[in-house]
Chains A and B, each alone.
Chain A
Amino acid sequence: MNPRFVVAKVTGAIGTLAFVLAFNFFLFRVVDDNPVDNLFRGRNLSPTQIASLEERFGVGDPLALQFVKYVRQTLQGDLGLSIKSSRPVSDVIMDSLWPTVWLVGTATALSMVIGTLLGIHAAWKRGTVTDSSATAFSMITYSMPDFWMAMVLLAAFAINLRWFPTGGFEDAGSTATGLSAFLDQAHHMALPAITLTLGYIGEYMILMRASMLDTVSEDYLQLARAKGLRDTEVRRRHAVPNALLPLVSLSALNFGYVLSGAIAVEAIYSWPGLGRATFNALEGPDFPVLQGLFLLFSASVIVANLLADLLNGYLDPRVRLS
């Protein structure tokens, strides 16, 4: 790949991260000008203790100095202390990171694959019943609030039919290990994963359908057909690869939406991930935790975008060789 392309993309991403870091600092400084006050409110502290804490948190320092300190601490992985639990924010995040990675990863992969296949099919059979029902399905699921879908599915499949547990990461007090633990967790993850998948299939389907229809009218498909290729070969070798290219960068943007959708959905299914941590941090509110989570969400979307750009550059010879 063109090294200048890579350097440009990486620099751009670093620039955006820097902006997010600064934005994050000033946004929370507006509401939380004295973290010591918030953290230790109601505790009996001697003036010297307060002074030493204020020293540590940099209260009273000029804003620029505070910002430098914040950047340095963040880069070292120190995101401050949770107001609620007084634990380091990084610990709170690490505890809930993996459940969300599993959930969002599964939902993203499933919705991407199903939505893309549906979109390919709908576009190839444009104007048929297949097309209009796939489009209608996508539009309707796209219009549903994720959390409402979570509520309806919970009521139907966990409360009434009892096919799935009502929430949590695994059975209470479970000591299972290995495969049975995995199956138990998968059973718990099924409903939240189905909810998020259903919620985002529509997005991919509509995007892929549009991209395919743009491709279908291309001359090189006519040429491929004229060469004597079968319809399925034309689709598989020529239409789909080209139609997938624009989808790469769109999925990265979409990743941010899935992550956002996880907030309410995790809260409803008591899935112990970042979403529920966000939900819990809203009460209080626990600003240091919110600040850390917001930084993490933004950073992961920026990284996802960077990866998508690089992947696009690798896949598309027009970018790779220009």
Chain B
Amino acid sequence: MSELSDVVVPGSAQSPRSVAWARRRRAAGEVWAAFRRHRQAMAGLIILLAVTVMALVTPLLADRTGLSAVDSLDNPVWASPSGDFFLGTDNLGRSVAVQFLYGSRTSLLVGVAATMLIVVIGSLVGVIAGFIGGWVDSILMRLSDWFLVIPFLPLAIVLARILGPSIWNIIFVIGVTSWPYVARITRAQVLSLRQRLFVERARALGASRRHIVRQHILPNVAPLILANATLAVPIAILTETTLAFLGLGDSRNPSWGKSLEEAYTAGAITRNAWWYYLPAGIGIIAVVLAFTMCGRALEEILDPRLRERR
């Protein structure tokens, strides 16, 4: 970073664009420095890295056949944790540990993919509404008001039931029901940016809308969207979990929520088989907590007004 900013001297051959990028990279460096000093944020990041690594190396640790009841016929059923089965077995003799490992993959995938969808829809709507304004803005904002008011879990349930159980449908459902919040924040940011001098200047110089959005608006809105996306992941993960628990999950790709549903229906509670339902719940809490801590820290760092609240 410093190398780049050192190179940028007045009168050098640097293009204005690279100057802007150097400035942004420096700003990102400052955010990262503040993030590193934030204890909660680093704790969250470490948890996230650990879970991500676990999800990635899962195929090396355990074979997918461990998820299949047919392949687990020889195993004891309802076995409590032991040397053979680190987290015990379920009613069909399947290893809970293997389910936990594979569940982390689905839960993370759904959380991150749904959030990307939320961000794409939300920022698109926000940028269009904020930048074009007028009746387009009023219609889009009215629509997002409506979506904010409709209780989104019932809506997600209905949609998921209509579309059928598959993780892609769940991702889609979460994406189309949760975008309004990101849209509102993006729009507010775009509106304030639009007033700022450099956009005025770019417009006066005859820049196209696409150029203004790409070069001036998006790079400036991006950090705030990132913070909000980090806070949207936990909501997406919790929604997936609830949908899966209500029987709307994808049985070929068991998530933590799905395995909680199976534990519940198999009667793990009355049997006191705590090893079946505790791990997945703790996994969900850890990931949700970690994303929330990182997101709140980012928001705090990017929005000086919030720093007071620490």
* A and B: interacting chains: yes
Q: Which of A31, A159, A210 contacts B272, CB < 8 Å?
A: A159
Q: Are A294 and B154 touching (Cβ within 8 A)?
A: yes
Q: Are A30 and B148 touching (Cβ within 8 A)?
A: no
Does A307 sit at the interface, judged by CB under 8 A?
no
Partner-contacting stretch, out of B48-56, B60-68, B115-123, B238-246: B238-246
Within 8 A of A (CB), among B134-160: 145-146, 148-155, 157-159
CB closest chain-B residue, reference A209:
B309
CB closest chain-A residue, reference B156:
A260
Does B103 sit at the interface, judged by CB under 8 A?
no
Minimum Cβ distance to chain B for residue A140 (Å):
7
Does A312 sit at the interface, judged by CB under 8 A?
no
Q: Which of B146, B152, B157, B285 contacts A16, CB < 8 Å?
A: B146
Q: Which of A253, A260, A305 contacts B154, CB < 8 Å?
A: A260
A263 partner residues in chain B, CB cutoff 8 A: 153-154, 157, 242, 246
Does B247 sit at the interface, judged by CB under 8 A?
yes
Q: How large is the interface on A (under 10, 10 to 19, 20 to 34, 35 or more residues)?
A: 35 or more
Q: Roughly how many angstroms separate A147 CA and B240 CA in the complex, as a whole number?
A: 13
Q: Roughly how many angstroms separate A214 CA and B308 CA in the complex, as a whole number?
A: 8
Does B260 sit at the interface, judged by CB under 8 A?
yes
CB closest chain-B residue, reference A285:
B161
Known contacts A147-B242, A147-B260, A282-B248; A27 and B162 CB within 8 A of each other: yes
Q: Are A214 and B309 touching (Cβ within 8 A)?
A: yes
Minimum Cβ distance to chain B for residue A211 (Å):
10
A259 partner residues in chain B, CB cutoff 8 A: 151, 154
Within 8 A of B (CB), among A16-34: 16, 19-20, 23, 27-28, 30-31
Does B277 sit at the interface, judged by CB under 8 A?
yes
Does B27 sit at the interface, judged by CB under 8 A?
no
Known contacts A31-B162, A140-B289, A159-B269; A145 and B242 CB within 8 A of each other: yes
Q: Roughly how many angstroms separate A27 CA and B176 CA in the complex, as a whole number?
A: 14
Q: Are B257 and A145 touching (Cβ within 8 A)?
A: yes
Q: Which of A209, A257, A302 contacts B149, CB < 8 Å?
A: A302
Q: Are A20 and B146 touching (Cβ within 8 A)?
A: yes
Within 8 A of B (CB), among A273-288: 278-279, 282-283, 285
Q: Are A301 and B264 touching (Cβ within 8 A)?
A: no
Partner-contacting stretch, out of A39-47, A60-68, A149-157, A236-244: A149-157
B309 partner residues in chain A, CB cutoff 8 A: 209-210, 213-214
Q: Are B158 and A27 touching (Cβ within 8 A)?
A: yes
Q: Roughly how many angstroms separate A270 CA and B221 CA in the complex, as a whole number?
A: 47
Does B284 sit at the interface, judged by CB under 8 A?
yes
Known contacts A139-B289, A210-B309; A264 and B149 CB within 8 A of each other: no
Minimum Cβ distance to chain B for residue A103 (Å):
16
B88 partner residues in chain A, CB cutoff 8 A: none
Minimum Cβ distance to chain B for residue A292 (Å):
11
Does B76 sit at the interface, judged by CB under 8 A?
no
Minimum Cβ distance to chain A for residue B89 (Å):
18
Q: Are B145 and A278 touching (Cβ within 8 A)?
A: no
Does B288 sit at the interface, judged by CB under 8 A?
yes
Does B81 sit at the interface, judged by CB under 8 A?
no
CB closest chain-B residue, reference A304:
B149
A246 partner residues in chain B, CB cutoff 8 A: none
Known contacts A16-B146, A19-B146; A297 and B151 CB within 8 A of each other: yes
Q: Are A294 and B281 touching (Cβ within 8 A)?
A: no
Query: Most chain-A Cβ atoms within 10 A of its Cβ — which of B145, B280, B285?
Result: B285
Does A168 sit at the interface, judged by CB under 8 A?
no
Q: Are A160 and B272 touching (Cβ within 8 A)?
A: yes
CB closest chain-A residue, reference B286:
A143
CB closest chain-B residue, reference A13:
B149
Q: Are B272 and A257 touching (Cβ within 8 A)?
A: no
Known contacts A259-B151, A264-B242, A301-B149; A278 and B157 CB within 8 A of each other: yes
B146 partner residues in chain A, CB cutoff 8 A: 16, 19-20, 23
Q: Are A16 and B145 touching (Cβ within 8 A)?
A: yes
Q: Roughly how many angstroms separate A166 CA and B270 CA in the complex, as a whole number?
A: 10
Q: Are B151 and A298 touching (Cβ within 8 A)?
A: yes
Q: Roughly how many angstroms separate A20 CA and B150 CA in the complex, as a whole number?
A: 8
| A–B pairs, 24, beta carbons within 8 Å | A20-B150, A23-B150, A27-B159, A143-B234, A145-B241, A145-B242, A145-B245, A147-B260, A148-B284, A151-B264, A154-B269, A155-B269, A159-B269, A159-B272, A257-B153, A260-B154, A263-B157, A263-B246, A264-B245, A264-B246, A282-B157, A293-B154, A294-B158, A305-B149
Q: Could you list 16 further interchain pairs (A-B, Cβ under 8 angstroms) beyond the known A142-B292, A160-B272, A261-B153?
A: A31-B162, A144-B281, A145-B241, A145-B245, A145-B281, A148-B260, A152-B278, A152-B281, A155-B274, A159-B272, A209-B309, A217-B308, A290-B158, A297-B154, A298-B151, A301-B149
